[in-house]
Amino acid sequence: MVIKLRDASGLFNWNFKKQTMAVIIIAMTLLLGMVISSFLIGADKLGVNLAIRNSGPTFDHLFGTDWLGRDVLARTLKGLTLSLCVGVLAAFLSVVIALSLSLLASWNKTVDYMVTWLIDLFLSVPHIVTLILISFALGGGFKGLLIGLALTHWPSLARVLRAEVLQVKKAEYVEVSRRLGKSHLWIARHHLFPQLIPQLLVGFILLFPHAILHEAAITFLGFGLSSEVPAIGIILSESMRYLSTGMWWLALFPGLLLLIMVGIFDVIGHSLRSLIDPFHGQKT
C-alpha cells in the first residue's frame, strides 16, 4: 500500500512538472512571437500616411491607424519591445542591488540592522511616488526612468534574499568554514550565493511585470521616455485626447497587449517557482 501511494505521488509530481513546463513553453512562445514580429516591421508601417488616418481596425491594419495614419499594431509591438528592454535592464539592476544588500546583511548585526532599515524605508513609500521623484530629479528620459525603476524595485526581493541568507548562515557547514578561518567573502561566494540562485532567477522574472507597468505609467504621466519613441505609455497618453471622438482602438489594443505581456511574465515566474520549490506540489 505504501509503495502504491509513493508511485501515485511520483506520478502526480511528474504530471505536474510536465504541465508546468508546457505552460512555460507556451508563454515563452507567445512572448518571442511578439518580440520577433516587432523586428520584422518595416519603416512604412511606422511612417506617416495621412491618406489612411483615423481608420478603424481592418484586415490591412488589424489595430487601425491613428490621426497621422500610422499603424497602431506596428507602433504597439515596437513599444512592447522597448518596454521589454527597459524591464530587462531594470530587473537586472534591481536583482544586483538586492543580492548585494542581502549578502552584506550576513556580515554582522549592525550591517544587518542598516540593511533592514533601508528595506523598510523604501517599502514605506509607494513605488510610483519614489519613481516619479527619482525620474524627475534625473531629468526623465531613458536614463532617469531606468535608474528610478532599479532603485525602487529591489526591496521586496532583498527581504526574501536576506531571510534566506540568515537561514543558510546558521548551517553547520557554514560554521565549519568560519572556524577554519575562511573569510566572509569566501563564505558568501561558496556557501551563500549558490543557495540564492533559485530565488534570484524567480525574483528576476517576477520583477518584469512591475517594471513594465511602472515604466508605462511613468511615461504616460510624462516623466519617462521621450515622446519621440513609440513607447506604450506615449501611445496611451496620446490616445486619450481622441477617445471622445470614438477612436477607441487607439487605447484598447495597446493596453490589452501590454496586459498580455505582463500576464505572460507573471505566468512564467509563478510556473518557474513551482518547479524550483520542491514542496509546491504538496502545497497545491
What value, to the nearest 5°, has the Cα angle with vertex 81 and ends 72 and 92? 155
108's CB contacts (< 8 A; 6+ apart) are: none
Cα(270)–Cα(267) distance, rounded to whole angstroms? 5
pLDDT recorded at residue 126: 82
Residue 4, pLDDT > 60, answer: no
Pick the CATH number of 2-283 from 1.10.3720.10, 3.40.50.700, 1.10.3210.10, 3.90.480.20: 1.10.3720.10
Please state, rounded to an integer, the average pLDDT across all residues of the chain.
80
Angle between helices 155-169 and 72-104 (to 10 degrees): 30
Main-chain phi, psi angles of 71, to 5 degrees = -70, 120
Main-chain phi, psi angles of 68, to 5 degrees = -110, 5
Domain ranges of the chain: 2-283
* DSSP structure string for 47-70: S--GGGTT----SSSTT-B-TT--
Residue 280, pLDDT > 70, answer: no
Structural contact between residues 222 and 237, judged by C-beta atoms closer than 8 angstroms: yes
> Using the 8-state DSSP alphabet, how is residue 245 labeled?
G
Residue 14, pLDDT > 70, answer: no
**pLDDT (tens digit per residue) in 135-157:** 888 887 888 888 888 888 888 88
Q: Calculate the alpha carbon distances from 123 to 94, 130, 132, 165, 166 in Å.
A: 14, 10, 15, 20, 20
Residue 277, pLDDT > 80, answer: no
**pLDDT (tens digit per residue) in 171-186:** 788 778 778 878 778 8
| Mean pLDDT score, 50-66 | 82
Residue 248, pLDDT > 80, answer: yes
Tracing cell 531629468 back to the chain, one arrives at: 139
| Mean pLDDT score, 234-238 | 85
Cβ atoms within 10 Å of 102's Cβ, excluding its own: 29
Global pTM reads 0.79
pLDDT level of residue 13 (50, 70, 90 thresholds): low
Main-chain phi, psi angles of 161, to 5 degrees = -65, -40
91's CB contacts (< 8 A; 6+ apart) are: 153, 204, 205, 207, 208, 211
